Amino acid sequence: MRGCSSQLATRRVAVLLGLTAILALPAAGGAAAPSDAAAELRQQDTSLAAKEQAATQELYSLEARLAAARSHLEALTARREAAEARLTRLRIELDVAWQSAYIAEEHLGARIRQLYQQGQLDPVAILLGAETLDEAIGGLDGLRSIASGDRDLLRKVRQARAELTDAKTRVLARVAALREAESAAEATAAALAAARAERTTYLAQLARQRGFNARRLERVRSTARAAGEHTEALEVSRDEAAAPVSAPAPAYTGGEQTLTVTSTGYALRGRTASGLPTGWGIVAVDPSVIPLGTRMTIPGYGEGVAADTGGAVRGATIDLWFPIVAQALAWGRRTVTITLHG
């Protein structure tokens, strides 16, 4: 009976070891998939970062061109309004000139009719009717003076009217040209504003895509960590009969103390377990090993504080926050000896 029991026990151990080996194979084989996915996501993030930088530079250029276009449009509008005001004044002055010319012509006609009625239009009649030479010369001078004055007034009024008409024609052409230039400047400003809106939308899409990739990368890294921990757990359970169980990491009791831990970089944003927002120096810890609020110095990273926890952070393990994914990936997973300060 004892021999049968011994054989049965041996067979059970063999079956368990076989099952353990079978379970270990998918975990080991699956580790390559998260690694490839992480590499692909990092490559996508690098490409998105380059596109984001180019789009940002283009947006800055569009902003400068749009500001210049709007300034030019404002200047054209001011010049067009000034030209239209000048045109309004010319129209008023031209109406006055037309009215003045009409009045001057009426006065000249009335003067001629008056001279005819008084019989003083003929110079011979003036000479024959004068009693003295001085009276004759005075009459002739008065006749010439009246006629010359009326003619000069009419000539000046007509000349002013012609000049105002020419000025009105020139100002009309200037107003039309300014309106055309203003329409072109408005079209340019509208096109630049549309391009700026399109670039802004494109940048927002890139930012969302980068955030989505960062979350995917974090999930891949978490999966890889979980797969690694699962593999380690299987190996420990398989070899626990031959190897002694390692003691858990000693809990921090205060004062200055060094502790060798496994550190991993991450770049997710949000709130920590302590309520603080994520930021540089925020460290995720296992509170049973390192209490929350403990200050520490991490070689290669700097000063930090235990302010967050995580489902994968167990034992002598810490997660370090980085502002961008590239820095977190560059840190990767490494073993460091940190100094706890309390």
Query: Could you write out the three-class secondary structure of 296-318?
Result: EEECCCEEEEEEECCCCCCCCEE
pLDDT range class, residue 39, cuts 50, 70, 90: confident
**How many angstroms separate the CA atoms of 172 and 167, rounded?**
8
Distance, in Å, from the CA atom of 16 to the CA atom of 22, rounded to the nearest integer, reads 10
Tell me, rounded to whole angstroms, the distance of Cα 58 from its chain centroid.
Answer: 10
| Inter-CA distances, 210 with 51, 319, 328, Å | 11, 21, 14
Give residue limits of the domains in the chain: 1-26, 31-246, 249-342
Predicted local confidence at residue 3, as pLDDT: 41
pTM of the prediction? 0.41
Give the pLDDT score at 27: 39
For 259-297, what is each residue's pLDDT tens digit?
Answer: 999 999 988 888 787 777 888 888 999 999 998 888 999
- 273 or 228, which is more confident? 273
Rg of the chain's alpha carbons, rounded to an integer? 50
CATH 2.40.40.10 for domain 249-342: yes
**Could you tell me which CATH number the domain at 31-246 has?**
1.10.287
Residue 85, Cβ neighbours under 10 Å: how many? 11
Q: What are the pLDDT digits (tens) for 129-177?
A: 555 555 555 555 555 566 566 677 778 888 888 888 989 899 999 999 9
